[in-house]
């Protein structure tokens, strides 16, 4: 896309930022709607809106301004889908069983993450906009969600204290740290997803097709480790799992920044994927076990807002940094931030 439309490194960051900004603003309203109107309705509509966005992009593939507008709309739908699917699992399971269930959800996500970049890399060798066509799959999935999922219990009307109760939970230091962990997890992940391809292709280390494989390997590694998070939390404290994961992610960023060949990039992809898989599942499971059922979706929305802010901040911050600092040094700085943030494991011990 960058090559075909003549976009700068900073402009290409907008492709991700436009998609992620609505999640910062709309995750909490999506959670409130899911608590009030039901998980099934919000999930189905969000998937249908997401799929229809792909239809619009395919109709005008080279209109970059329209592309960004549609990405904003799709980002709003995506934020709701993430919050609601997490909440549905939290409604059904608790304890280590929920960690395992969230791990299986993560597995489903990572299968998509592993397969679609490879397909996207192949399609992008034909034309940059063809990978967007894969998003049309959201249309039948949205319809299936409406037809198959059971009607869930609704709250029965507005409750003005819902957001306040969710915020009260966050005043505890351990819970605040847990929410911050969600921010950092996605800050690191989307910094990796957005700019590792730019760095790898720009340096000549990998081709566009190989980068698709690289992201697929990272996702596949996370798919393997995510479902094992339940076992990990039976062996060590969740806080320990988070601390080890964050430190390893930081080292993988430093490795990418200093990579002199493709071997280091492939090794960092495996390391990043494995640790991100465990980190994400443990943090998500802890988040859904804290609130009561009637405000679970709202609290998950609060947590999702911070996570989505991390997604939005990553390409935005790196996009600004590369105006002044070479991309490899910017990556090293993100790695240093990750290593410093391992200290958040200490407050998490009380959970």
Express each pLDDT in 252-261 by its tens digit: 888 888 877 8
- Over residues 55-82, the pLDDT tens digits come to 998 888 888 889 999 999 999 898 888 8
Residue entry with tokens 């003005």: 160
Q: Does the CA dihedral 290-111-278-20 come out positive or negative?
A: negative
Residue 157 pLDDT level (bands cut at 50, 70, 90): low
Q: Does the CA dihedral 57-59-60-62 come out positive or negative?
A: positive
Query: What CATH architecture does domain 2-348 belong to?
Result: Up-down Bundle (1.20)
Say whether pLDDT at 161 is over 70: no
- pTM summary value: 0.68
Residue count of the chain, please give it: 351
CA 284, CA 276: separation in Å to the nearest integer? 12
Say whether pLDDT at 205 is over 60: yes
Please tell me the predicted confidence (pLDDT) of residue 159.
Answer: 53
Please tell me the predicted confidence (pLDDT) of residue 270.
Answer: 92
According to the 3-state scheme, what is the secondary structure of 294-351? Answer: HHHHHHHHHHHHHHHHHHHHHHHHHHHHCCCCCHHHHHHHHHHHHHHHHHHHHHHCCC
Torsion of CA 163, 285, 102, 31, to 10 degrees: 0
Residue 294 CA to chain centroid, in angstroms? 25
Q: Does the CA dihedral 264-207-219-323 come out positive or negative?
A: positive
């Amino acid at each position: 896309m960058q090559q075909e439309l003549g976009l700068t490194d900073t402009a290409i960051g907008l492709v991700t930022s436009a998609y992620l900004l609505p999640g910062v603003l709309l995750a909490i309203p999506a959670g409130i709607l899911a608590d009030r109107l039901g998980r099934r309705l919000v999930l189905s509509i969000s998937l249908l809106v997401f799929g229809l966005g792909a239809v619009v992009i395919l109709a005008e593939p080279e209109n970059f301004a329209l592309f960004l507008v549609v990405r904003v709309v799709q980002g709003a739908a995506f934020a709701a889908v993430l919050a609601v699917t997490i909440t549905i699992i939290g409604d059904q399971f608790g304890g280590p069983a929920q960690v395992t269930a969230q791990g299986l959800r993560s597995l489903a996500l990572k299968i998509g993450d592993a397969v679609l970049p490879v397909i996207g890399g192949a399609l992008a060798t034909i034309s940059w906009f063809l990978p967007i066509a894969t998003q049309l799959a959201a249309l039948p999935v949205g319809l299936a969600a409406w037809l198959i999922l059971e009607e869930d219990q609704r709250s029965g009307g507005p409750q003005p204290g819902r957001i306040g109760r969710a915020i009260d939970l966050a005043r505890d230091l351990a819970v605040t740290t847990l929410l911050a962990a969600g921010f950092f997890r996605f800050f690191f992940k989307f910094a990796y997803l957005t700019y590792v391809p730019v760095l790898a292709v720009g340096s000549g280390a990998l081709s566009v097709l190989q980068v698709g494989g690289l992201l697929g390997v990272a996702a596949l590694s996370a798919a393997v480790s995510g479902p094992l998070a339940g076992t990990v939390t039976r062996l060590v404290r969740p806080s320990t799992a988070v601390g080890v994961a964050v430190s390893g992610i930081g080292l993988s960023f430093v490795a990418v920044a200093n990579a002199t060949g493709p071997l280091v990039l492939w090794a960092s992809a495996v390391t990043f994927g494995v640790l991100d898989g465990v980190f994400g599942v443990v943090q998500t499971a802890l988040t859904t076990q804290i609130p009561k059922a009637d405000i679970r979706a709202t609290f998950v929305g609060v947590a999702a807002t911070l996570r989505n802010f991390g997604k939005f901040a990553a390409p935005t911050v790196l996009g600004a940094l590369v105006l002044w600092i070479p991309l490899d040094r910017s990556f090293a700085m993100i790695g240093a931030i990750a290593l410093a943030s391992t200290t958040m494991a200490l407050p998490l011990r009380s959970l």
